[in-house]
């Protein structure tokens, strides 16, 4: 078992190396012909690439050997319960809490707080995005239980988002559509999707391919709506209009 894990880790490191090589090549080209940074700064960037390499390698290997299997097992156990309606509030709690652990969400909320001078606080953005993701996971659980098509959620959702754009401010519109991307980070993709597929695989009449997947589309949608609504609330309370 340990040998198989080690062999898998070697494959992961090779894949990460191939992914990082173009970035290293671009940086080297810019350094030679354009940037011409001092050697100390180049060494700092080099250390950053090394840390990135090992961080991605360990993370992806952890996903393969632990995160995805345990997510699938949790989903299978939850889906086999008699009271399947509880999957909806459980999904909300999982989505809400997982957002707190998303690295991209943490970075974005910090940047929004800094760039707006605290006008849009980190805490407010974090709770808004967490609510949005929680609702999306709850809707995904509802879709698994009912067998409803993903289109029933996606089309009305984006229509609502485009309508809200006309009532929100330019500040919140830009943040909102970026929020949908940062919410679909490693926690959601690796853990919550595995839980969703595990639940769908044990529920009678549910197909993991058609019902278990599609969660990411909802996760990318609901934070947009949540942030746009936050922008409308700010406007109604007399916030900045730009």
Whether 12 is covered by a domain: the verdict is: yes
Structural domain total, the chain: 2
Q: Are residues 63 and 31 in the same domain?
A: yes
Extract the tokens encoding 196: 């969703």
**What is this structure's pTM?**
0.82
Extract the tokens encoding 68: 């995805």
Whether 196 is covered by a domain: the verdict is: yes
Q: Are residues 22 and 119 in the same domain?
A: no
3-state secondary structure the chain: CHHHHHHHHHHHHHHHHHHHHHHHHHHHHHHHHHHCCCHHHHHHHHHHHHHHHHHHHHHHHHHHHHHHHHHHHHHHHHHCCCCHHHHHHHHHHHHHHHHHCCHHHHHHHHHHHHHCCCCCCHHHHHHHHHHHHHHHHHHHHHHHHHCCCCHHHHHHHHHHHHHHHCCCCHHHHHHHHHHHHHHCCHHHHHHHHHHHHHHHHHCCCCCHHHHHCCHHHHHHHHHHHHHHHHHHHHHHCCCCCC
Range of the domain at 24: 8-68
Of the three residues 68, 90, 105, the one that is the final residue of a domain is 68
Q: Are residues 151 and 182 in the same domain?
A: yes
Per-residue pLDDT tens digits of the chain, which is 242 residues long: 456 566 678 889 999 999 999 999 999 999 998 888 999 999 999 999 999 999 999 988 888 888 888 989 999 999 888 888 999 999 999 999 989 888 889 889 999 999 888 888 899 999 999 999 999 999 999 999 998 999 999 999 999 999 999 988 888 999 999 998 898 888 888 889 999 999 999 998 888 888 888 888 999 999 999 999 998 988 887 654 44
Whether 73 is covered by a domain: the verdict is: no
Residue-wise pLDDT tens digits, 9-58: 888 999 999 999 999 999 999 999 888 899 999 999 999 999 999 999 99
pLDDT of residue 153: 94
Q: Are residues 110 and 161 in the same domain?
A: yes
Whether 49 is covered by a domain: the verdict is: yes
**Torsion from C-alpha of 142, 143, 146, 150, nearest 10 degrees:** 150
Which of 210, 218, 207, 215 lies closest to 71 in space, CA to CA?
215
pLDDT of residue 40: 92
Residue-wise pLDDT tens digits, 59-80: 888 888 888 889 899 999 998 8
Q: How far is CA 191 from CA 64, 95, 99, 184, in A?
A: 11, 10, 12, 11
Whether 200 is covered by a domain: the verdict is: yes
Q: Are residues 136 and 56 in the same domain?
A: no
Which of 164, 199, 180, 168 lies closest to 76 in space, CA to CA?
199
pLDDT of residue 43: 95
The region, left, alpha or beta by phi > 0 then psi within -120 to 50, assigned to residue 169 is: beta
1/87 Cα distance (integer angstroms): 34
pLDDT of residue 241: 44
Q: Are residues 59 and 109 in the same domain?
A: no
Q: Are residues 230 and 135 in the same domain?
A: yes
Contact 5, 65 (CB under 8 A): yes
**Torsion from C-alpha of 121, 229, 193, 49, nearest 10 degrees:** -40
């Amino acid at each position: 078992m340990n040998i198989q894990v080690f062999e898998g880790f070697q494959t992961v490191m090779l894949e990460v190396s191939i992914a990082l090589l173009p970035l290293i090549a671009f940086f080297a080209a810019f350094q030679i012909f354009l940037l011409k940074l001092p050697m100390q700064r180049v060494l700092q960037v080099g250390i950053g690439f090394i840390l990135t390499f090992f961080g991605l390698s360990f993370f992806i290997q952890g996903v393969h050997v632990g995160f995805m299997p345990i997510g699938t097992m949790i989903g299978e156990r939850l889906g086999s319960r008699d009271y399947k309606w509880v999957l909806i509030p459980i999904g909300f709690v999982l989505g809400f809490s997982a957002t707190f652990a998303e690295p991209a969400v943490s970075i974005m909320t910090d940047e929004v707080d800094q760039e707006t001078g605290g006008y849009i606080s980190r805490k407010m953005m974090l709770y808004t995005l967490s609510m949005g993701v929680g609702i999306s996971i709850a809707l995904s659980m509802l879709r698994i239980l009912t067998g409803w098509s993903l289109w029933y959620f996606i089309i009305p959702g984006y229509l609502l988002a485009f309508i809200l754009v006309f009532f929100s401010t330019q500040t919140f519109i830009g943040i909102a559509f970026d929020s949908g991307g940062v919410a679909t980070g490693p926690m959601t993709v690796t853990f919550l999707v595995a839980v969703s597929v595990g639940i769908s695989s044990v529920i009678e009449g549910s197909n993991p391919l058609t019902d278990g997947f599609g969660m990411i589309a909802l996760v990318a949608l609901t934070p947009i709506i949540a942030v746009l609504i936050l922008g409308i609330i700010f406007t109604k309370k007399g916030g900045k209009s730009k």
